[in-house]
Structure 1
Amino acid sequence: MHDLPLSALRALAAIHETGGVRPAARRLQVSHAAVSRHLRELEGWLGVKLLEGVPGRKVLAFTPAGEALGQAASRHMNALDQAVATVRERRRGNGVTISTTASLAARWLLPRLPRLSEIAP
């Protein structure tokens, strides 16, 4: 599992769900070139074609291997997304998120956190 190309599998799932590279890129909020690159990398890593051109048309179609992997990637990416959402919903209701620069956090915020914990446990 450590060597799975997760970004490429995420791109494949998006292509499978949206029906194309450009719609997948819009969904993922990346360029279509990035999605195409992920697809080429995944095909190279697997050693099989996942999409192929349809003769006489400017569209791509999934190969049988691409369809099978696309379905699995889509199903599992959606399941992972739901699991992450569930975990995030279980966070404590009184949690606070603070965004700052690293230098301000290290020099000012972190030294004061123990006192804050004493005042407002």
Structure 2
Amino acid sequence: STSPCLRNGIAKQRRDVRCVKLNREVVDEERCDKTQRPKSRKECDNDSCKAEWHASDWGSCSSSCGTGGVQLRLLTCVWAASRTAAGRNCEGRRPPAARSCPQAGQLPPCGPTALPLQQDESCEDNSRYCDIIKVFHS
């Protein structure tokens, strides 16, 4: 049988090895020559053991105004067939985990909002401020 993947493209295959008489009766291992015992495990090529990057959907933009926001997503290296974790077996360039947002024109500009004052109205601070987030690229 083939067991879980070892590394990209390689799995481990194993088989049961028993000591048997000519009539196929299973006997104690001590009755067989240990130097003649076949291997019970070996590495084998396995196309199901191809590691690839899996990316989650992009998260929401970190900014509610202007253009200084960031979107993040989770990247995971997984085996293509089983979608289970593949550790550091992914080859090639890792897709980006962060990007600038919003796309042009999606959010209102940041800064003070000017409202015309009517006579006898009190003045209120209606300012909005943007969060500035620094993203370090690895």
Please, what TM-score do these two structures have when normalized by structure 2? 0.21
More helix by share: 1
Please, what TM-score do these two structures have when normalized by structure 1? 0.23
Asked which structure has the greater CA Rg, the reply is 2
More strand by share: 2
